[in-house]
Amino acid sequence: MRTGLILEKLGTSSLFIDKGERIQVTLLKMQECQVMTHRTIEANGYEAVVLAYGAVKSNKVSKPMKQVFANANIEAKKLVKEFRVSAENMIEVGSELNVDHFSAGQYVDASATSIGKGFAGGMKRHNFKGLEASHGVSISHRAHGSTGSCQDPGRVFKNKKMAGHMGAERVTIQNIKVVDVQVDKRILIVKGSVPGCKGSVVFLKDAVKK
């Protein structure tokens, strides 16, 4: 089990592969990323690598975090994230990572916060069919219908699919193929779409199922 990477979503585009097929791709850019510290079984009960990502002015960091970065002997960063790793894949503290941590053709899992959609109805949020367009249905064509019962149990069950807040939640997409790795530009190109809007932070790690 290796550490993952922290990247920034630039946007989507398209590429033509060797067979002449046109595919959709997502461009991910990596800023400064350093190993800040380790988590060990002796001290923490598990093994992990803590990464610090993205250079930021020291006055933008809280006083406790300034001391944390000072103890690690690295410059202040805007984001800290830890990845579980196995003992043989520990990386030395202070080491800088780049996009060549992954290779073209490899499969990865991408996690990010999805785009917020605000308050959405049942048809948009849960793909409900909706009611009849005619034949007596009045002003409730997009309604989600009955949600409870009259006497028994006389309430709406928890987690019932209804209208409500949609999006702005952590989403993970598995088995995304890495198309190209541009080390000089610190850009990683992956096939398909990745959760989040432009400029959002994306966490990549080796695919669990492949």
- Helical H runs in the chain? 41-44, 63-72, 122-126
In this prediction, residues 88-106 reach a mean pLDDT of 87
Q: In what order do the strands lie in the sheet with 33-39?
A: 33-39, 48-55, 77-84
Q: How many helices (H) and strands (E) are present in the chain, helices listed first?
A: 3, 11
Average pLDDT of the chain is: 89
pLDDT digits (tens, 9 = 90+) for 139-170: 889 998 888 888 888 899 999 999 999 999 99
Which residue in 6, 176, 187, 174 sits closest to 83, CA to CA?
6
Band of pLDDT at residue 138, cut at 50, 70 and 90: confident
pLDDT digits (tens, 9 = 90+) for 19-45: 888 999 999 999 888 888 888 888 889
pLDDT digits (tens, 9 = 90+) for 52-96: 888 888 888 888 888 888 888 888 888 888 999 888 888 888 888
DSSP E strand boundaries for the chain: 5-16, 22-29, 33-39, 48-55, 77-84, 107-113, 118-120, 164-166, 170-182, 187-191, 201-206
Q: What is the pLDDT of residue 165?
A: 96
Give phi and psi for 15, each to the nearest 5: -135, 155
Q: How far is CA 182 from CA 34, 66, 104, 121, 153, in A?
A: 19, 32, 10, 42, 59
Q: What class has domain 5-117+174-206?
A: mainly beta
Tokens standing for residue 153 = 């149990």
Evaluate if residue 178 carries a pLDDT over 90: yes
Q: What is the pLDDT of residue 133?
A: 87
Which residue in 79, 16, 186, 61 sits closest to 70, CA to CA?
61
Which residue in 174, 160, 79 sits closest to 125, CA to CA?
160
Evaluate if residue 121 carries a pLDDT over 90: yes
Evaluate if residue 124 carries a pLDDT over 90: yes
Tokens standing for residue 77 = 């960063």
Instruction: Name the residue ranges covered by the structural domains of the chain.
Output: 5-117+174-206, 119-166
